[in-house]
């Protein structure tokens, strides 16, 4: 094995805003796992982690160990391949993206296209998978694309999830209307949005969406999923049936105003097919079940990601912010709402 015995990792220490960089053992591999030397990661706000776990989900890196027992035999499962994906960070003491080395199941990492730099590849993690999880798996959207040219609402289009959702909804054949800050209008249009409104305009923005779409939408993803964004998104639905996805638990009061709209909460971590609970800072205990169908979808999605990326998906704009020791500051900046229209990316040496 070409890896040393220990590595640096960002570990949840459960103090307020608390993460700490620690030197810990490189984890032993489990069945069908390979070891990746991580080179770039991108951040999400960590509020759900359990104490002592390695945090971080989205990564890009290079394969450094493939045990002979690994049965998954695709071309990129070999030492030296560049790979990317996401893991369930913040749950395990020996598995998380914000570390120099990461163990991943061989069938749940994808090869980075030759012409894509790793600092962009690491953004094709949670936000990219979330768009597919909501639109393709949950809403059973048009794929192959082309049959349905109706309007699709992407609330929060300038977020990481939003920029990938705009692209996917367009590829599915929809016209896309999105809501973000005025300063990000040009950005969301450059990712394919046909129309954009300023969400801070509240009721006026909702009326504008209804006017542009000829009475409202029948499909939407709320990429922010706060009570106020749930309320905004559901108010944009046309009369009749609709499908709305949220990516955190929905606000019951907000979404109950339209019982004819099917509101589904799609939480990406269920794609690992195991039951789990979030850490203490996430609030009341909320056990999530093992969903075998989600794991099946996850495997099928990963196998097709190179094909999907080749359809023309663009990475969100990135902002390089330093190395592993700088991640805590990035998380603090994100909690203060400083991130807008880009992803913070860190180089892991």
Within residues 277-336, the interface with ligand NAP by CB under 6 A covers 334
The contact pattern for ligand NAP, residues 13-52, with x = CB under 6 A and - = no contact, is: -------------------------------xx-------
Q: Does 160 contact ligand NAP by CB under 6 A? A: yes
- Please, which residue, 100 or 184, has the CB nearer to ligand NAP? 184
> Least distance to ligand NAP from the beta carbon of 222, Å?
9
| Binding span for ligand NAP by CB under 6 A among 137-145, 158-166, 252-260, 301-309 | 158-166
| Binding span for ligand NAP by CB under 6 A among 68-76, 104-112, 218-226, 251-259 | 218-226
Q: Does 213 contact ligand NAP by CB under 6 A? A: no
> Least distance to ligand NAP from the beta carbon of 286, Å?
13
- Please, which residue, 101 or 155, has the CB nearer to ligand NAP? 155
Within residues 220-249, the interface with ligand NAP by CB under 6 A covers 223-226, 229, 247-248
30 φψ region: left (φ > 0), alpha (ψ -120 to 50), beta (else) = beta
Distances 162 to 11, 20, 52, 158, 170 between C-alpha atoms, Å = 28, 30, 31, 6, 12
How many angstroms from the chain centroid is the CA of residue 295?
16
Q: Does 267 contact ligand NAP by CB under 6 A? A: yes
Q: Does 161 contact ligand NAP by CB under 6 A? A: yes
Tell me which of 180, 196, 235, 305 binds ligand NAP, using CB under 6 A: 180
Q: Does 268 contact ligand NAP by CB under 6 A? A: yes
CA distance 33 to 107: 8
Q: Does 199 contact ligand NAP by CB under 6 A? A: yes
Q: Does 57 contact ligand NAP by CB under 6 A? A: no
The token duo for 236 is 């944009």
> Least distance to ligand NAP from the beta carbon of 206, Å?
13
Q: Which of 232, 150, 160 is nearest to 197 (CA)?
A: 232
CA distance 55 to 50: 9
Q: What are phi and psi of 34, to 5 degrees?
A: -120, 160
- Please, which residue, 104 or 267, has the CB nearer to ligand NAP? 267
Q: Does 266 contact ligand NAP by CB under 6 A? A: yes
The token duo for 300 is 């099928």
Q: Does 84 contact ligand NAP by CB under 6 A? A: no
Tell me which of 19, 112, 126, 235 binds ligand NAP, using CB under 6 A: 126
Q: Which of 193, 245, 252 is nearest to 223 (CA)?
A: 245
Q: Does 138 contact ligand NAP by CB under 6 A? A: no
DSSP codes, 145-177? S-S---EEEEETTTSHHHHHHHHHHHHTT-EEE
Handedness of CA 25, 28, 32, 35 (dihedral sign): positive
CA distance 346 to 324: 7
CA distance 347 to 324: 7
Q: Let me know: does 220 contact 154? Beta carbons within 8 Å.
A: yes
Residues in binding contact with ligand NAP, number by CB under 6 A: 28
Q: Which residues bind ligand NAP (CB under 6 A)?
A: 44-45, 126-127, 130, 156, 158-161, 180-181, 184, 199, 223-226, 229, 247-248, 266-268, 334, 339-341
């Amino acid at each position: 094995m070409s890896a040393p015995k220990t590595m640096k990792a960002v570990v949840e220490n459960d103090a307020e805003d608390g993460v700490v960089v620690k030197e810990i053992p490189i984890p032993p591999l489990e069945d069908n796992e390979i070891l990746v030397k991580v080179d770039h990661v991108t951040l999400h706000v960590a509020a759900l982690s359990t104490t002592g776990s390695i945090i971080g989900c989205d990564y890009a890196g290079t394969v450094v160990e493939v045990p002979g027992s690994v049965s998954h035999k695709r071309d990129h499962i070999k030492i030296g391949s560049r790979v990317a994906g996401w893991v369930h960070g913040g749950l395990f003491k020996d598995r998380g993206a914000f570390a120099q080395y990461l163990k991943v199941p061989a069938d749940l990492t994808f090869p980075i296209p030759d012409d894509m730099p790793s600092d962009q590849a690491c953004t094709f993690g949670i936000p990219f998978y979330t768009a597919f999880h909501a639109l393709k798996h949950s809403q059973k959207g048009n794929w192959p694309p082309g049959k349905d040219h109706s309007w699709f609402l992407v609330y929060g289009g300038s977020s990481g999830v939003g920029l990938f959702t705009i692209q996917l909804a367009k590829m599915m054949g929809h016209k896309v209307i999105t809501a973000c800050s005025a300063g990000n209008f040009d950005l969301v249009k450059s990712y394919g949005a046909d129309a954009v409104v300023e969400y801070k305009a509240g009721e006026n923005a909702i009326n504008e969406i209804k006017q542009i779409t000829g009475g409202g939408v029948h499909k939407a993803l709320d990429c922010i999923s706060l009570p106020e964004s749930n309320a905004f998104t559901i108010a944009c639905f046309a009369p009749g049936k609709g499908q709305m996805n949220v990516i955190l638990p929905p606000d019951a009061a907000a979404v109950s105003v339209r019982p004819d709209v099917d509101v589904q909460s799609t939480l990406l971590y269920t794609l690992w097919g195991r039951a789990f609970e979030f850490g203490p800072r996430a609030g009341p205990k909320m056990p999530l079940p093992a969903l075998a169908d989600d794991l099946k979808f996850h495997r099928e999605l990963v196998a097709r990601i190179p094909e999907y990326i080749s359809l023309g998906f663009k990475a969100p704009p990135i902002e390089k912010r330093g190395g592993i020791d700088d991640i805590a500051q990035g998380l603090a900046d994100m909690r203060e709402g400083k991130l807008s229209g880009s992803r913070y990316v860190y180089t892991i040496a």
